[in-house]
């Protein structure tokens, strides 16, 4: 592998498989590495938990029925340790009872064997993208301290905003939209990006929803909502937050 390919591999997301079927490890390594991901795997739950700590994968593919510790127990133990990576359960059992147990244990998705490689890769890609977006938003609204610009103060950790020292009565969603934009001043966010950051959905965006929220926020933080100085519209693109002296 040349230097460019090696650098690309190092930057690729790492997917881990815990499954007691050796042939599945061979298959999944080929599928995932051909798709540009890095791969690691363990054959049972206990070994998998140890490997999780060492490899720090970005996503986990987890078999349900394994000897010793089953997949639900592995997932529950992992979540209790604080690890938040996406988990996709793999199982030959597709009944709703098993699915409810998996989701309650902390799983994010459930794929029934046998599955197509294309479907699995689409799910892996979607969960990795959503996890990255969640991390970016968590970073945005968990900034230490506050953003002070003009007459507006935004206290990220407290979910509070103040205009000329007086509290602004924002709903949770209104604050999250404002915090996302204020934490990234000057960066333009499309309506779709705002929708996915706040609601965590990949479905088609109802642009009217974002427009309504922006109007309500402006009515609360702008002296003249029709001529905003903080939350600006970028025509045909989206919105951005502008810092003021």
Tell me the pLDDT tens digit for each residue of 43-55.
Answer: 999 999 999 989 9
Tell me the pLDDT tens digit for each residue of 62-103.
Answer: 999 898 899 999 999 988 887 888 999 998 876 556 778 888
Tell me the pLDDT tens digit for each residue of 117-134.
Answer: 999 999 999 888 877 766
> Backbone phi, then psi, for 162, in 5-degree steps?
-130, 135
Do residue 52 and residue 163 come from a single domain? Answer: no
Do residue 155 and residue 114 come from a single domain? Answer: no
Q: What is the residue range of 43's domain?
A: 3-138
% of the chain beyond a pLDDT of 70: 85
pLDDT higher than threshold 90 for residue 16: yes
- 73 within 8 A of 52, measured Cβ to Cβ: no
Do residue 20 and residue 129 come from a single domain? Answer: yes
pTM: 0.57
Tokens 């968590």 belong to residue: 138
DSSP 83-122: ----EEEEES---HHHHHHHHHTT-SEEEESS--HHHHHH
Do residue 59 and residue 128 come from a single domain? Answer: yes
Question: Chain-wide mean pLDDT for the chain?
Answer: 85
- Decide which of 81, 106, 138 is a domain's last residue: 138
Do residue 152 and residue 108 come from a single domain? Answer: no
pLDDT higher than threshold 70 for residue 221: yes
Do residue 212 and residue 152 come from a single domain? Answer: yes
Displacement of CA 210 from its chain's centroid (Å): 20
pLDDT higher than threshold 70 for residue 206: no
Dihedral sign computed on CA atoms, order 91, 96, 98, 100: positive
Note if the bond before 14 is cis, omega within 30 degrees. no
- Decide which of 86, 112, 138 is a domain's last residue: 138
Q: How confident is the model at residue 114 (pLDDT cuts 50, 70, 90)?
A: confident
Query: pLDDT: is 14 or 201 the higher one?
Result: 14
pLDDT higher than threshold 60 for residue 59: yes
| Contacts of the segment 216-222: beta carbons below 8 A, 24+ positions apart | 216/174, 217/170, 217/174, 217/177, 217/178, 220/163, 220/168, 220/169, 220/170, 220/174, 221/152, 221/161, 221/163, 221/168, 221/178
Tell me the pLDDT tens digit for each residue of 143-186.
Answer: 556 788 999 999 887 889 999 999 999 988 899 899 989 988 89
Q: How confident is the model at residue 140 (pLDDT cuts 50, 70, 90)?
A: low
**Number of domains present in the structure of the chain:** 2
Do residue 119 and residue 165 come from a single domain? Answer: no
Do residue 18 and residue 71 come from a single domain? Answer: yes
Tell me the CATH number at 167: 1.10.10.10
């Amino acid at each position: 592998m040349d230097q460019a390919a090696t650098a690309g591999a190092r930057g690729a997301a790492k997917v881990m498989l815990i499954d007691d079927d050796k042939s599945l490890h061979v298959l999944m390594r080929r599928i995932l590495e051909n798709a540009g991901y890095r791969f690691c795997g363990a054959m049972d739950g206990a070994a998998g938990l140890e490997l999780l700590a060492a490899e720090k994968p970005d996503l986990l593919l987890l078999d349900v029925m394994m000897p010793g510790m089953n997949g639900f127990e592995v997932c529950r133990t992992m979540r209790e340790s604080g690890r938040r990576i996406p988990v996709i359960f793999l199982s030959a059992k597709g009944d709703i009872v098993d699915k409810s147990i998996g989701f309650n244990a902390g799983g994010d998705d459930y794929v029934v064997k046998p599955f197509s490689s294309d479907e699995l890769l689409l799910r892996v890609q979607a969960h990795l993208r959503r996890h990255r977006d969640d991390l970016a938003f968590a970073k945005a609204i968990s900034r230490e301290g506050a953003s002070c610009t003009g007459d507006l103060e935004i206290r990220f950790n407290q979910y509070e905003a103040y205009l000329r020292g007086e509290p602004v009565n924002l709903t949770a969603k209104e604050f999250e939209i404002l915090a996302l934009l204020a934490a990234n001043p000057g960066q333009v966010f499309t309506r779709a990006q705002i929708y996915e950051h706040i609601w965590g959905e990949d479905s088609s965006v109802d642009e009217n929803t974002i427009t309504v929220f922006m109007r309500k926020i402006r009515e609360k933080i702008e002296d003249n909502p029709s001529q905003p100085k903080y939350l600006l519209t970028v025509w045909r693109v989206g919105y951005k937050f502008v810092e003021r002296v």
